Amino acid sequence: MLGLFIAQVLNGLLDGTYYLLIALGLSLIFSLGGIINLAHGAFFAIGAYLAILITPVTGFFGALILVPLIVAGLGMVTERTLFTRFYRIDPLYSLLLTFGLAMVIEQGLRWIFGASPQSYNMPDILRGQVFFGDFIYSRYRIFLIAVAVLAVAGLWVLLNRTAFGRIVRAGVQNPEIVGSLGISLRPYLSVVAGIAIGLAGLAGVLLSPIYTIHPAMGAEIITLAFVVVVIGGLGSFWGVIIAAVLVGLTKGVLVAVGLSSWSTAAIYLLMFVVLLLRPRGLLGERILRFE
């Protein structure tokens, strides 16, 4: 019984990685431009549908590389044409904008592909299970987690160890100073939106073999991703990671002890408690212009 419990804890820890890619992107877009991108889940759905279209041509691994790039491109276009008009005004407007955008994308997918879920198969090479003693895990999920960790690590290096990252981080704290140093933030904003939305596209491909692909799949995942961001603290890299793990763990443990019907409620309860004790989230930074 103890073995099973440990297995559940481990599984819960890993479960968090699925929201991580989405939640990190959400957090990134918010911290730089102050936009709460409710359409983030819709880009995740676009990623999944693109995977269906591209896989027959390039295979799964080709799609894994191409789809995030295409979705990142879409993200940059969206940033240039839509987000850029909303950086300096009340976040409520961008909330409305991205909420509408999410609906347009969802309905667009329904229009093009139909409401019926699409089938998508796992590549044969990643099928099967791995055993660690008594703990069984799916080979595909190990791959999924590895890719997610790589992507997150890459993002960390980009933000913390490069000149690009330094300017982005400076832009988060004080765009005016960055401007007065003669650096235009605009191209950086586009690239960051591209990366953040591309990560959602990557998550779309990664989750297609194990989740149902249907037009509303974005709406399904965005709420939880948003909760992760709020618990972790908007704009906080490590906060979001810790929160994703906490959320996965909470769900896993509650299912393990037979309280599965509480597993969703508990996450919101967790958010409630965190907000009560730390209104900025676990590791939420103080971002001057949002105070």
Partner 1 sequence: MTLKTTRRTVLRTGAAGLALGLAAPAYLRAQGAPLKIGHLTPTTGFLGPLGEYAQMGIKLAVEHINANGGAGGRQVELIMEDSVNPQTASTKAERMFERDQVDFIIGEISSASCLTISQVAARYGKCFVNTGGNSDSLRGADCNRYMFHVETQNSMYVNAEGEYFDAQGMVDGKNWYTLSADYAFGHDLLNAAKAFLDANGGVLVGDDLVPTDATDFSSYLLKIRQAEPDVVALNLAGTQITNFFKQYGEFGLDFTLGGFGFDTVSAWAAGAQNFRGTWPNVWNHLVQNDASQAFVQAFTTAYGKPPENQAWGDYNAGLIMAQAVTAAGEAGGDALVAYLESPEAQFDLMKSRKGYFRPSDHQLIQEIYAITALPAGEAQNEWDIFTTSDPVPAANEPLERLATSVTGGTCSF
List residues near partner 1 by CB under 8 A.
4, 7-8, 11-12, 15, 18, 110, 114-122, 127-129, 136, 138, 140-141, 209-217, 220-221, 223-224, 251-252, 255-256, 258, 260-261, 263-265
Please, which residue, 4 or 273, has the CB nearer to partner 1?
Answer: 4
Helix (H) / strand (E) element for 137: namely strand 135-138
Please, which residue, 2 or 276, has the CB nearer to partner 1?
Answer: 2
CB 165 to partner 1: min, Å: 32
CB 191 to partner 1: min, Å: 31
For the chain, what is the total number of helices (H) and then of strands (E)? 11, 2
Please, which residue, 15 or 79, has the CB nearer to partner 1?
Answer: 15
Q: What distance, in Å, lies between the first and last C-alpha atoms of the chain?
A: 49
CB 244 to partner 1: min, Å: 13
CB 11 to partner 1: min, Å: 5
Please report which residue ranges of 114-185 form alpha helices under DSSP H.
Answer: 139-160, 163-173, 175-180
Please, which residue, 82 or 216, has the CB nearer to partner 1?
Answer: 216
CB 25 to partner 1: min, Å: 18
* CB contact set of 287 (below 8 Å; sequence gap of 6+): 31, 172, 173, 234, 235
106 neighbors 48 (Cβ within 8 angstroms) = no
Please, which residue, 155 or 224, has the CB nearer to partner 1?
Answer: 224
Nearest-CA neighbor of 237 among 20, 57, 33, 49?
20
The CA–CA distances, whole Å, from 234 to 72, 156, 278, 284 equal 21, 16, 12, 6
